[in-house]
Amino acid sequence: MGKTGTGSNKSQGNQNEQKKLQASDGSKRKKTVKRNSQANKENIPEYVPRTNGPKRKREPLQPTSNISDHYPKKKRVVSTQRECYSMSKRPLGHCLIINNFNFEGTSLGNRRGTDKDKDDLTRVFQNMFFKVEVRDDLQASDMLTVIKEFAERDHSQMDAFVCCILSHGKKGSVLGTDGIPVPISELTQLFAECRTLVKKPKIFFIQACQDNEAQQGVLIADGLVKTTEEGTFEQGSHTAASHSVHKDADFLIGIATVESYKSFRHVKDGSIFIQELCKQLESGCRRKEDIHSILTKVNNIVSSKILQGSKQMPEVRYTLTKTLVLPMQ
């Protein structure tokens, strides 16, 4: 009786221990399930036991500056093309040169040296494919007649027009050989109304003083500019006013000097402004430089000279709407 009871008690105890073990295993499984579900919710990767396969080599760290962006930025393209006037027609255009030398019968002196300017302008503009025509010693009425004649011509088969006036002048005007002034505004207005020159450059170069004042040099840090010109110079009389530039588009007017001052002309070698203009046009046009850059060089060189103790500062006014690059053969 006693032994039987003892064996039954042991088997019952073993059963109780197995139940406790099963209960503890179940609770562990539940905790593992809970942890796995929580890890999935938080996107935490489950633990993967290490295998006996070959170890991966660690790649060396790279600086972030060498790593290309996943979305590379587009490079900004900057256009360097210039919108230029067409200069393809041959002949390129008419070039009128009015050369007033003889002022006898007036209080004005003859313009010695002007023929050198005329010859050099003729050569330069012929090399630019212009059809050059020269008119010498025109009185005021004749100047207006010639200007009107050129303004009424058919320029439809040409790309530009040039007019060079070499004369005495006074404020707002150039003078005929009879001493009578012709307003600059009248000259430009005639070409502003020319339909076959619409949207084409109309260029005027005028050699004349702008008044009777002598322009003096200004002291700079290391003294006066050293450039000097030797020889016999004459001063033009009165003015050809730059403020007379017509407001319509596609005009350019280059004047020998700023308003209120004299310009200078050598009695043999021609005027300072026209001679430098011809030189810079020949060199600059062959390098495909635009007219604004060329005239800026003319201003710089002429203004650096000392002429009979005075200075000369050319002036350019323009209403060009495109870049102007004149051809040169």
Q: Which strands sit side by side in the sheet containing 264-266, from one edge to the other?
A: 233-235, 264-266, 270-271
- Residue 68: CB atoms within 10 A of its CB come to 6
Rounded to whole angstroms, how far apart are CA atoms 304 and 205? Answer: 20
Q: What is the mean pLDDT of each run of 10 residues along the chain (329 residues)?
A: 51 60 57 52 54 62 55 55 93 98 94 96 98 98 97 98 93 89 88 94 86 50 42 55 58 80 78 95 98 96 80 86 97
How many residues are there in the chain? 329
Active-site position among 94, 155, 168, 246: 168
What is the per-residue pLDDT for 219? 38
What is the per-residue pLDDT for 243? 45
Contact 320, 252 (CB under 8 A): yes
Rounded to whole angstroms, how far apart are CA atoms 281 and 314? Answer: 15
What is the per-residue pLDDT for 80? 57
SS3 sequence, 247-289?
CCCCEEEEECCCCCECCEEECCCEEHHHHHHHHHHHHHHHCCC
In this prediction the pTM is 0.69
Asked if 155 is an active-site residue, the reply is no
Contact 36, 46 (CB under 8 A): yes
What is the per-residue pLDDT for 246? 44
What is the per-residue pLDDT for 2? 46
Question: What tokens were used for 37?
Answer: 């579900």
What is the per-residue pLDDT for 166? 97
Q: Which strands sit side by side in the sheet containing 93-99, from one edge to the other?
A: 130-136, 93-99, 160-166, 202-207, 251-255, 315-318
Task: Give buried/exposed letters for 271-297 (b at 16+ CB in 10 A, else e).
Answer: bbbbbbbbbbbbebbeeebbbeebbeb
What is the per-residue pLDDT for 177? 96
Active-site position among 163, 164, 209, 285: 209
What's the CATH number of domain 93-318, 2.102.10.10, 3.40.1190.20, 1.25.40.10, 3.40.50.1460? 3.40.50.1460
Asked if 209 is an active-site residue, the reply is yes
Domain boundaries, the chain: 93-318
What is the per-residue pLDDT for 222? 38
